[in-house]
A and B are shown apart, each in its own frame.
Chain A
Amino acid sequence: MSALEVEGITVTHGSRTLVEPLDLGIEAGRCLAIIGESGSGKSMTARAVAGLLPRGVHATGTVRLGPHVVSLPASERVWSRMRGDRIALLLQDPFTSLSPVHTCGSQLSAALLAADKRRGRSRRRAAQRRADVAARLEEVHLDPRVAAQYPHQLSGGMRQRVAIAAALAADPDVLIADEPTTALDATVQADVLDLLTALRSERGLGLLLISHDLGIVQGRAQDVIVMQHGTVVERGDTSRVLHHPEHPYTRRLLAASPTLAAADRADQPAGETLLRAEGIEKSFDGRRVLRDVRVDLHARETLALVGASGSGKSTLARVIAGLEVPDAGAMTFDGASLPAGRAGRIPSQIQVVFQDPNSTLNPAFTVGRTVAEALRTAGRPASEVPGLLAMVELDPELAGRRPASLSGGQRQRVAIARALAPQPRLLICDESVSALDVSVQDQILQLLGRLKEQLHLSILFISHDLAVVAQIADRVAVMHDGVIVETGPTAIVIDTPQSPYTAELVASARAQSLTTEESA
């Protein structure tokens, strides 16, 4: 019998249809993946199946959970008997999905107690509860001592393990995992996905895996549904969909999915050194974030800085951009000394494009005003706005719009236009494509590549994603614990990593990405 059977589920928001009628089913012990980009309706489908739609969003259809039939829309009373025991929802971001002021143990035991209450059993005693919490933590390969810790004391991967243990506390038949690894570092992503896969087969759990990334379904999901604009465009057996995609959209997604194959770049003669940073030291609260770091960036090259979160790569970028003052070290730019901090800098030296275009653009300003302001700072007239927008391949008509009415990709193009307004020699991209969908990410990367050639830019590209780096960078510097452990041409670093940490990074990136020859 299917653990989950969904018939004709439709999700609407006012007069807008977010998800067209959709059927899906998961057998116990199997995994179904729903793949789609933002706005495809995949997350709304997941939340409709768990009865957790946001205010104002409604669903119709039938959800069959084992012997229980829930016809939508169903009241909270009906759902409260299903959630936990029959079906549980695991969210994307472990940094926000646990209460920050409760210990992990108390959040786990709250889920255990909720299960007791639903089943009409008496509350288990404190000692029993402690033992159960320890057992649940062990199941997700965590030390029982984690029970006494607060979420902020754990790493992202550990937090997501706690969230998994809590979601499975009432032993549900079906687990919906909504982008469970998107917020995690590359090296941890594979671990968490492997854990979910192991739990699925050990517990006979039906797993509904929601992701934007076709790369992660390989070897983990038996069936795949590809969604676009609220409709299913393709569904079927995973290997069939990956190797013989029928729908053009699936093919596009596969093509856009970054692979580890470093683009064959003709070995350009290295330009003169544009930026040199030496002996950079930085500590926060006594923790050394940067230790004697040295970076050389040549003119007209793209240097990627790769590392996990907390490796110090963003801090280094901020030091170079002058947004952070280092404790020690010296920098030169184009042969002249570059002062630490913002004072004494010229806008035409270095500009930054940040990660999240939703929060880095002033929501009250129109696109034109945002760009014009950047132009004014550089002493250039506002009449250059249309030209600048055209340069980042945006319709100059968009100048009158505000960020809220733009797509994520368009917003990031505006942010790039703003950074290019003072005609900088060096562009720092701090995780600039991480918040974007795969296909949009691909377009932005190509845009950056073209801009670099056209404007003779140097780019310092900060990323946690080796596959993205492979696509754009000429050289790579790998950071780990505040130290650059390896530097070299991209293809060489990826093919023959020298440091153990780089090897680990490459291995987990390979596990994530699609094998090229098959998907080509």
Chain B
Amino acid sequence: MAWLLGQRLVGIVLVLFVISVLTFSLPHLAPGDLVRTLIGNRQVTPQLQEQIRAQYHLDDSLPVQYWDWLTNALHGDLGTSVQLQQPVSAVLADRRLPLTVALALLAFVVAVVTCIPLGVFAALRQRTALDTVSTTVALVGLSAPPFTIALALLYALAYYVPIFPVYGSGHGALDVLYHLLLPAAALAAGVGAMLMRITRTAMIRELDSDYVLAARGRGLSGRAVIGLALRNAAIPIVTSAGLVLTFLISGTIVVETIFSLPGLGQVLQNAVQYKDLPMLQGVTLVIAAAIAVIAMVADLIYLGLDPRVRSGRARS
């Protein structure tokens, strides 16, 4: 068990290292002169060029530059935004990152709370009208891209029946939550449908297995049997929920744009538009690290759920 944990931790450190190298290489891989890009829309003078070279240590060798950049990043210093002339970390920490995290988490919670029970329910009512209806709705949710759902929700529940705000992020915790509900629902639709289908399939497989028949054969009640099956089905569900959450993070970018939410998505969009490389680096690093960490957490939960993997044996 400890060995497995250690193995996963080493794996995650390796992944983060590769991510950091790739992120660091971004500006060097980008077309055009790096110094000019870093100057942005300021007046290009030889002094400024010299100043930029000194500021970014561009005359050092690449490994040294990487090492400086990495140690700074580990201390929370992601450089200065070219466009805003503010520290990247300050821009991210000031509402941008929290807003996106809140949006993704809210969408995740909405998806989990509604769709996993729905999946279990559909599995129990297998091949009935209810099952058909819920799987069909899930299919629609799965095939419609998030922006169409977002626009449809916006039109129906913010414009036609104005229950929810059309844009913005609001002020104060409750107001923010109120502003985030509609975007979160739009974001949750697709991944929720995925979760529902996965839960349904996993539950059907478990309910069909021998141990469920055996449990019924020794007199366990219907509810106890469902609990037994759900605990087994949790293994594939958790694994896919981790994937779903990472998928959500990229989905926030589109939804934030539609609902004019000042989150990471907007920052990223601006950074791309203005060739703001330090900002781009910062956002990429944060998103990549978040995805890696989520994947690791899902892995750890998986370890906790499956005693066979814990003791290092393959599934029999």
Contacts and interface: CB of A to CB of B under 8 A. Distances in A.
Interface of A: 50, 52, 76, 80, 83-85, 88-91, 93, 95-102, 107, 110-111, 113-115, 117-118, 150, 152-153, 163, 166-167, 169-170, 172, 176, 285
A91 B228 contact: no
B228 A166 contact: no
A52 B217 CA distance: 7
B217 A89 contact: yes
Nearest to B126: A55
Given A95-B316, A111-B215, A150-B307, 5 more contacts: A84-B219, A91-B210, A91-B217, A99-B231, A101-B231
B306 A101 contact: yes
A150 B308 contact: yes
B159 interface: no
Interface in B214-243: 214-222, 224, 228, 231-232, 235
A52 B214 CA distance: 10
Interface size range of chain B in the complex: 20 to 34
Contacts of B210: 91, 93, 96-97
A50 B217 contact: yes
Nearest to A46: B217
Nearest to A77: B222
A460 to B, nearest CB: 25
B59 to A, nearest CB: 52
A100 B232 contact: yes
Given A97-B211, A110-B224, A152 B217 contact: no
Contacts of B228: 99, 102, 110
Contacts of A111: 215, 218-220
Given A76-B222, A110-B228, A152-B313, A98 B217 contact: no
Contact of B214 (A85, A89, A152, A169): A89
Interface string B123-160: 00000000000000000000000000000000000000
A109 to B, nearest CB: 11
B308 A100 contact: yes
Contact of A84 (B213, B218, B235): B218
A90 B217 contact: yes
A391 B213 CA distance: 42
Interface in B153-207: none
Contact of B219 (A76, A91, A115, A152): A115
User: Quick one: which of B213, B219, B220, B232 has the most chain A CB within 10 A?
Assistant: B219
B218 A169 contact: yes
Contacts of B311: 150, 152-153
Nearest to A176: B217
A80 B222 contact: yes
A89 B221 CA distance: 14
Contact of A52 (B216, B305, B308): B216
A88 B213 contact: no
A80 B215 CA distance: 12
A101 B305 contact: yes
Contacts of A169: 218-219
A49 to B, nearest CB: 11
A169 B305 CA distance: 26
A375 B79 CA distance: 67
19 contacts: A80-B221, A89-B213, A89-B218, A90-B217, A91-B210, A96-B209, A96-B210, A100-B232, A100-B306, A101-B232, A110-B220, A110-B224, A114-B219, A115-B219, A117-B221, A163-B214, A166-B218, A167-B214, A167-B218
A115 B219 CA distance: 7
Contacts of B218: 83-84, 88-89, 111, 114, 166-167, 169-170
B98 interface: no
B307 A100 contact: yes
Contacts of A91: 210, 213-214, 217
B76 interface: no
A44 B99 CA distance: 59
Given A88-B219, A110-B224, A115-B219, A97 B307 contact: no
A113 to B, nearest CB: 8
Contacts of B305: 101
Contacts of A107: 215
A167 B232 contact: no
B11 interface: no
A96 B232 CA distance: 13
A170 B213 CA distance: 16
A172 B307 CA distance: 31
Contacts of A172: 219
Contacts of A113: 224
Contacts of A83: 216-219
Closest 7 A/B residue pairs (Cβ): A84-B219, A89-B217, A96-B210, A97-B214, A150-B307, A83-B219, A99-B211
Nearest to B229: A99
Nearest to A118: B219
A102 B221 contact: no
Interface string B275-316: 000000000000000000000000000000111100111011
A91 B228 CA distance: 17
Contacts of A85: 219
Contacts of A76: 222
A201 B218 CA distance: 20
Contacts of A98: 211, 214
A150 B211 CA distance: 14
Given A101-B231, A114-B224, A150-B307, A96 B211 contact: yes
A117 to B, nearest CB: 6
A152 B210 CA distance: 15
A101 B224 contact: no
Contacts of B313: 152
B24 to A, nearest CB: 39
Contacts of A90: 214, 217
A148 to B, nearest CB: 11
A99 B233 CA distance: 11
Contacts of B214: 89-91, 97-98, 163, 166-167
Nearest to B211: A99
Contact of B308 (A89, A117, A152): A152
Contacts of B217: 50, 52, 83, 88-91, 167, 176
Contacts of B216: 52, 83, 89
Contacts of A89: 213-214, 216-218
A467 to B, nearest CB: 27
